[in-house]
Structure 1
Amino acid sequence: MKYSLAVYRRSLSAAVFAGAIAATVAFASSAQAEKLTIIVGGMEKQIYLPATLTERLGYFKDEGLDVELINSRAGVDAENELLAGSAQGVVGFYDHTIDLQSKGKFIQSIVQFSQAPGEVELVSSKYADALKTPADFKGHTLGVTGLGSSTDFLTQYLAIRNGLKQGDYTLLPVGAGNTFIAAIKQDAIQAGMTTEPTIATTLKTGDAKILVDMRTPEKTVAALGGLYPAASFYVQTAWLETHKEDAQKLTNAMVKTMRFIASHSAEEIADKMPKDYYVGDKDLYVKGLAEGKAQYTPDGRMPKDGPTTVLQVLSSFSKTVKGKEIDLAKTYTTEFVDKANTTLDAAK
């Protein structure tokens, strides 16, 4: 009996010790999981919806990732935070990869969310009779989210494509949402570029009308001359070279989201989003999402010839891009989305 009790005690001690070791290993593995910070150039904007949706669907956690999404007023601000090392990635417009390369800085889009900007140039209803095309921008103040932002880039291109030159108009950074709406109402701007749900809100109140619509691939081609890959997930090239495993996991999660968007209705997608994103009107949010849903890529891949269009747009007015030798192959990669899609297809 004493012998059996001794054996039992030794077995119990071994079991406790083994459990402690297992717990220690689990804790160590958890502690080693690097927290990844992603800055989004406006989380409430529908153009950047895939970032929050990925989190809400639990896809980051499914990949064993600890991801924090941080909201930013504009894509250009998020870009600066990335370059400063405050984040591992940014959800913003692809055009920043070209703009930065022209300045000797290298970032890459690894997941492409959209093939159209999802932006609309709105004109204040007070000026709708005078401002009928971008050619009428002359002498007016135009709202953009921020100077150096993608709305800045696109606004300048629309002006130049319609025969104007820099200096014929004034750009004013007004952000998005309530600040954009206030700028329209207070006549601080006569027209401006913004996204959903701000578009639907101003149209419903009658404060503004659509001047140029770039929410679908077809309308984007008409306005810009080609597909314009816009919302994307990009990282610094130097980080990507040393964090390929993290990059693949992030891509896996986001590609699953793009496929979710492609296979679900606007209402089903809206149901997954935070209620405060509806700005008090879910039906209006769903309407805007339905009208712009075609902007999203179905699989996270870069649309063919899209980068060339973006380069042409920036080269038309940007003093830093014009005349520079830009290597588009270094502005994006499909390595990770290709692998993610292959894995998902095989699992069907």
Structure 2
Amino acid sequence: MSASPRRLPARPLSRRGLLAAAGSAALLTTSGCGLLGRARDDGGNDRVEQATITVGTLPTTEYAPLALAVRRGYFQHEGLQVEITKATDGSAALTSLISGEYDVALSSYVPLLTAQSRGAADLRIVADAGAAAPGTAVVMVPPDSPVRGPADLVGRVVGVSAIGTVSDLLVKSALHDAGVPTDRVELAPISFPNMPAALAQRRLDAALVTEPFITIATREGSARTAFDTAVGPAEGLPLSGYGATARFVQDNPRTVAAFQRGLTRATLEARDRRTVEPLLPDVARISPEVAAETELVTYRAVPDGTQMQRVADLMHSFTFIDHPLDATTLIASGA
């Protein structure tokens, strides 16, 4: 195991960036949810304080267990109706959560913990979503690139989804673990869907790519995997989870508990690939052929304080946050 990295310079998102940089979320109603254009009943019942909640999600494989819980009626069984909207990206989802547009939101842990650390909002983690697994977060390069490992990235431009995100963190962790100064590599923001084309056109030397875009790029022949980042300090690192404001959690403890039970039931079932793979074309907007080859994150529902602290400690080491953060204080009671 490598030593803990020293604090290194980074360019984390500003408070204004956390709240506004991503723009507005693209609200796309999922099949059968009927969210837009319909009156919403926020009243409670004899089982929950709020019978209908809005959950913001992302078009990623981490969203699959939630989709499974909705389709199989696990939330309805708990007296809860979950209406799903899809945000354009994690920053947009977090912005909508903080503004009150969402009751719960799927988010990468890095912007969520950053917002908490900087006082942009008082947030809680109500459920885990996914952790890094082999082949789910890799550095890809053009097919004929000489890059084979982190040391070969010195002086090159590496694409990440945004500065101050988990992509940024994974690249820095991999570089540091290999003894490469992070300031010797230039990071450039680019959306995941645009990474394969950027690599094929040599507009980037490398990029931190996640699934399903790893599979898409490999099938197209536009890029190849140079090395995996889910190793060393980032092996099995929690990537994303479901957040809510502390006020929502405090005011709706039975609602939160119902959401947790329904999601946990589906998450356990989603660990069987045969259960979750048929959902991926809709969840991640990919073809069945790509879905069949896509590597999946490790699905989790219950946050682990020790694992969550690994994320916070890495963020502090690379100055994503200015002060140490006790990540266990963000885990909602009962999660």
Pair 1:308–1:63, CA change in 2 (3 A): same
Report the secondary structure of 2:250's partner residue: helix
Structure 1: 4+ residue segments shifted above 6 A? none
Matched, 1:287 2:286: no
Q: Is 2:133 aligned against 1:110?
A: no
| Secondary structure of residue in 2 paired with 1:292 | coil
Letter aligned with residue 271 of structure 1? P
Q: Establish whether residue 154 from structure 1 lines up as the match of residue 170 from structure 2.
A: yes
Query: Residue by residue, what CA displacement relative to the aligned partner does 1:83-112 show, whole Å, maximum 9, x if unpaired?
Result: 222211111223334322321233222211
Match in the other structure for 1:244 = 253
SS in 2 for 1:32: coil
User: RMSD across aligned C-alpha pairs, in angstroms?
Assistant: 2.6
Aligned residue in 2 for 1:318: 319
| Structure 1 residue 126 corresponds to structure 2 residue 126 | no
Contact 1:106 / 1:236 at 8 angstroms: preserved in 2? yes
What is the alpha-carbon distance in structure 2 between the residues aligned to residue 194 and residue 58 of structure 1?
33
Q: Which amino acid aligns with 1:296?
A: Y
Gaps of 5+ in 2: 1-39, 45-49
* Partner residue in 2 for 1:270: 277
Q: Which one of 24, 47, 55 corresponds to residue 38 of structure 1?
A: 55
Residue 346 (structure 1) aligns with: none
Structure 2 match to 1:26: none
- Aligned residue for 2:175, secondary structure, equals helix
The amino acid of 2:224's aligned partner reads: K
Normalising by structure 2, what TM-score?
Answer: 0.76
Deviation by residue 1:194-228 (Cα, 9 ceiling, x = unmatched):
222211111122222223335xxxxx3x3325531
Higher helix share: 1
Task: Report if the CA contact (8 A) 1:75-1:149 is conserved.
Answer: no
Which of 91, 94, 100 pairs up with 1:76? Answer: 91
Q: 3-state DSSP class of the match of 2:325?
A: coil
Q: Is the 8 A contact 1:76 1:149 kept in 2?
A: no
What residue ranges of structure 1 are gaps of 5+ in the alignment?
Answer: 1-28, 215-219, 338-348
Normalised to the residue count of structure 1, the TM-score between the two structures is 0.73
Who is 1:25 aligned against? none
How many residues are paired up? 287
Within 5 Å, give how 1:1-348 maps onto structure 2.
32-33=43-44, 34=50, 35-40=52-57, 42-43=58-59, 45-104=60-119, 105-116=121-132, 118-127=136-145, 129=146, 131-177=147-193, 179-213=194-228, 220=230, 222-224=231-233, 226-262=235-271, 264=272, 266-275=273-282, 277=284, 279-280=286-287, 282-288=288-294, 291-292=295-296, 295-297=298-300, 300-303=301-304, 305-321=306-322, 324-333=323-332, 335-337=333-335
Distance 1:205 1:211, change over 3 A: same
Q: C-alpha offsets along residues 239-287 of structure 1, whole Å, 9 cap, x if unaligned? A: 211111221111111101111113x3x233222445584623x233122
- Per the alignment, in what secondary structure is the counterpart of residue 120 of structure 1? strand
Query: Could you tell me which amino acid in structure 2 is paired with residue 336 of structure 1?
Result: G
- Amino acid of the residue matched to residue 66 of structure 1? Q
Show the counterpart of 1:24: none
Is the Cα contact below 8 Å between 1:115 and 1:228 reproduced in 2?
yes
From the CA coordinates, give the structure whose radius of gyration is larger.
1
* Aligned residue number for residue 23 of structure 1: none
Question: 1 CA distance for matches of 2:213 and 2:96?
Answer: 25
TM-aligned CA distance change 1:185 to 1:158, over 3 Å: same
Secondary structure at the aligned position of 2:227 is classed as: strand
Higher relative contact order (CA 8 A, sep 6+): 2
CA distance in 1, matches of 2:79, 2:97: 23
Report the Cα distance in structure 2 between the residues aligned to 1:275 and 1:89, rounded to whole angstroms: 21
Shift of 1:232: 1.1
